[in-house]
Amino acid sequence: MSSARALLVGDPAPWFVQRCTTPFGTYSFDMAAGRSILLYFFRSSTQAGVGAALAHLRAAGAVLDGVRSHFFGVSTDPEDEARLGEMPPGMRFFRDADRAVTTLYGLAEQEAPYWMVVDPMLRIAAVQPDRPGVAERMVGLLCRMRPIAPAAPMPVPALMLADVFEPAFCRQLMAYYHAQESMPSGMLTEQVPGRSVAVADPGFKRRRDCRLRDRGLVGQVQARIIRRVVPEIHKAFQFQATQMDRLILACYDSGEQGCFGPHRDNTVAAAAHRRFAVSINLNDGFEGGAVSFPEFGGPGFCPPAGGALVFSCGLLHAVTPVTRGRRHACLPFVFDDAAAAIKQANRAAMGRTETA
């Protein structure tokens, strides 16, 4: 995080990681995408007008539900850690005693509190200095950003490709999966910058994986992706994929409501080289398990058996719970030679990452 110029409507909201009143003690702001967000920057909760504004927000709990809308206060007063305790689910506070977030958002020189509204794609929708009545207007703006009936979803920059794997090859890969010992799938996270570790969180991700170690099957997977997926990525995105990793087979099982919460695939050092995710379904006959993109809204995507969904690793995405049957999938990532150099440089941070 570094000093930045003042933000204007239409600018991307900068991403950051900061101490926060979440169960984990920190929060990565990019994970807030897919919702309308109200940011309130202030020096201290004892500042004139701040207490009244926060009281108004507490009363607006039906709007700030944490699902469609969320509030984040940004306080630079260390003593606010004791003052700003239990809050409704849709209200959180960043502990910005080092002023890193305040500086990043161009407000380091501002003494008066400031409001910002951020849209579901994490773009600035409104910027207002604090004054009487602004809190009410900001909540009203959030209400107008929450349509009663869903509007037409924005197009998602993703490819849906049929016939990447033949039915017989899908069956062969599923047979391999069931002949191996699968493991609960972890998630890559960083408590120390640059040091990535895989952790388990069944409340956020429920999936079992096995690494594809059979060289013959690995070669067949690679050949099909090179022949049928790589040209389509180049045509749609003008990106030439030359490398592939994390050749795993995965299963989302309805017995445990298999799912994966909203996440991005390239936000920690061990995954920074990933460019495109290739999600290839191996079977039909299940319910749920769709890949959704909260920043864009709309229904999720579920390729047919043998089909692939291809999307940038930078997009926030989630897998809805599987409610019937099992969803089997092959889940590699592709990247280019420049990204391979990043992977090599970050290898020390990777640890065990093949199933994350």
- Residue 63 has a pLDDT of 86
Output DSSP code: residue 301.
B
| Neighbour-count burial for 74-107, b at 16+ CB within 10 Å, e otherwise | bbbbeebeeebeebbebbbbbbbeeebbbbbbbb
Q: CATH fold of 17-144, please?
A: Glutaredoxin (3.40.30)
Task: Dump pLDDT digits (tens) for 273-289.
Answer: 999 999 999 999 999 99
**CATH 2.60.120.620, applies to 158-349:** yes
| Neighbour-count burial for 139-175, b at 16+ CB within 10 Å, e otherwise | bebbeebeeeeeeeeeebebbebeebbeeebbebbbe
CA-nearest of 192, 337, 185, 325 to 261 is 185
- Residue 225 has a pLDDT of 98
Q: Do the beta carbons of residue 296 and residue 156 sit within 8 Å?
A: yes
Longest dimension (CA), the chain: 69
- Residue 356 has a pLDDT of 59
Q: Which of 112-121, 142-151, 245-254, 317-326 has the lowest mean pLDDT?
A: 142-151
Q: Do the beta carbons of residue 333 and residue 222 sit within 8 Å?
A: no
- Residue 4 has a pLDDT of 65
Residue 258 CA to its chain's centroid (Å): 18
3-state secondary structure of 142: helix
Binned at pLDDT 50, 70 and 90, residue 148 comes out as very low
How far apart, in whole angstroms, are the C-alpha atoms of residue 173 and residue 290? 20
**Token pair in block for residue 253:** 């099982």
Chain position carrying tokens 């069931």: 178
Q: Is the pLDDT of residue 152 over 70?
A: no
How far apart, in whole angstroms, are the C-alpha atoms of residue 344 and residue 228? 27
Q: What are phi and psi of 169, to 5 degrees?
A: -70, -35
Q: Is the pLDDT of residue 349 over 70?
A: no
Highest mean pLDDT among 78-92, 131-145, 234-248: 234-248
Residue 190 CA to its chain's centroid (Å): 14
Task: Dump pLDDT digits (tens) for 55-111.
Answer: 999 888 778 888 889 999 999 999 998 898 778 889 999 999 999 999 999 999 998
Amino acid at 251: C
Position with higher pLDDT, 241 vs 353: 241
Query: Percent of the chain beyond pLDDT 90?
Result: 75
Q: Is the pLDDT of residue 149 over 50?
A: no
Task: Dump pLDDT digits (tens) for 174-215.
Answer: 999 999 999 999 888 776 676 777 788 899 999 999 999 999
The domain ranges of the chain are 17-144, 158-349
